[in-house]
């Protein structure tokens, strides 16, 4: 009964549902605008390349990776990795995602603070999400409350990481939308569609952050009750 006895459990289930709705929504929105070719006929890779050059960035490479919606920017190797559909197709959705990832590369090149903080938090966040449950259960099993507290402390790094992800993601999208318009990569109508794709993507990060925060609050409540 220990884990099923409170409203916080129901809230957590609600947040999990919200996260899966957000992830279904990003897929369907991407698919919808992936069927529409952009008027300039630019592929994601070309748009990313163009946006980098316009910003005077020449030390970031663009690579193709497998999977769907696996697109990301890797600050360690200064690489924009674009999934197959984004890399090689000239749709509104592919250009939107490619320019969003380029937005991260520009954040990196210009020393955008939330990105630096987020990158610095990554090792602690990874450790935190792995250490939470073993420490938490060991703490309960052997009645050593300090283990529970250490688990929660570690986990809070991973929550902090997710919270710093939010400004980073919103900022990359707003940079992308502004520049796609400014450089004429997309027309004004196409830019409205791009906003829908990028907003749907941002919502998955909001849902993930809310879920982590909910989990942290629940951990704190459970540990205090003991």
Q: Which residues are catalytic?
A: 101
Nearer Cβ to Zn ion, position 51 or 135?
51
Give bridge partners of residue 63 from the DSSP assignment.
Answer: 81
Question: With the CA atoms of 215, 217, 219 and 222 taken in that order, what torsion angle do they form, in degrees rounded to the nearest 10?
Answer: -130
Closest contact distance (angstroms) between CB of 122 and Zn ion is 14
Nearer Cβ to Zn ion, position 34 or 175?
175
Nearer Cβ to Zn ion, position 169 or 190?
169
Closest contact distance (angstroms) between CB of 169 and Zn ion is 5
Which positions touch Zn ion (CB under 5 A)? 169, 172
Question: For residue 54, how many other CB atoms are within 10 A of its CB?
Answer: 14
Question: Any idea which residue has 């300090």 for tokens?
Answer: 146
> b/e for 118-156, b at 16 or more Cβ within 10 A?
beebeeebeebbebbeebbeebbeeeeeebbbbbbebbb
Nearer Cβ to Zn ion, position 71 or 190?
71
Task: Tell me how far apart the alpha carbons of residues 133 and 158 are, in angstroms, rounded to a whole number.
Answer: 13
Task: Tell me how far apart the alpha carbons of residues 13 and 163 are, in angstroms, rounded to a whole number.
Answer: 20
Closest contact distance (angstroms) between CB of 114 and Zn ion is 12
Question: For residue 53, how many other CB atoms are within 10 A of its CB?
Answer: 11
Closest contact distance (angstroms) between CB of 168 and Zn ion is 7
Closest contact distance (angstroms) between CB of 174 and Zn ion is 12
Task: Tell me how far apart the alpha carbons of residues 200 and 141 are, in angstroms, rounded to a whole number.
Answer: 41
Do 91 and 97 meet the contact criterion of CB atoms below 8 Å apart? no
């Amino acid at each position: 009964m220990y884990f099923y006895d409170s409203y916080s459990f129901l809230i957590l289930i609600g947040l999990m549902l919200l996260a899966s709705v957000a992830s279904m929504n990003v897929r369907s929105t991407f698919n919808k605008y992936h069927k529409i070719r952009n008027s300039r006929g630019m592929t994601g890779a070309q748009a990313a390349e163009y946006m980098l050059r316009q910003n005077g960035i020449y030390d970031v490479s663009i690579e193709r990776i497998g999977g769907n919606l696996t697109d990301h920017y890797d600050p360690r190797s200064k690489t924009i990795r674009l999934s197959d559909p984004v890399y090689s197709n000239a749709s509104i959705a592919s250009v939107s995602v490619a320019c969003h990832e380029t937005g991260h590369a520009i954040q990196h090149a210009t020393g955008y603070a939330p990105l630096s903080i987020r990158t610095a938090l990554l090792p602690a966040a990874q450790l935190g999400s792995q250490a939470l449950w073993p420490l938490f259960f060991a703490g309960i099993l052997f009645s050593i409350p300090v283990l529970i507290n250490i688990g929660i402390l570690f986990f809070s790094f991973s929550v902090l990481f997710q919270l710093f992800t939010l400004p980073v993601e919103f900022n990359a999208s707003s940079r992308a939308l502004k520049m796609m318009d400014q450089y004429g990569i997309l027309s004004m109508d196409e830019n409205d569609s791009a906003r829908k794709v990028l907003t749907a993507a941002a919502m998955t990060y909001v849902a993930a952050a809310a879920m982590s925060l909910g989990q942290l609050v629940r951990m704190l409540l459970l540990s205090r009750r003991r």
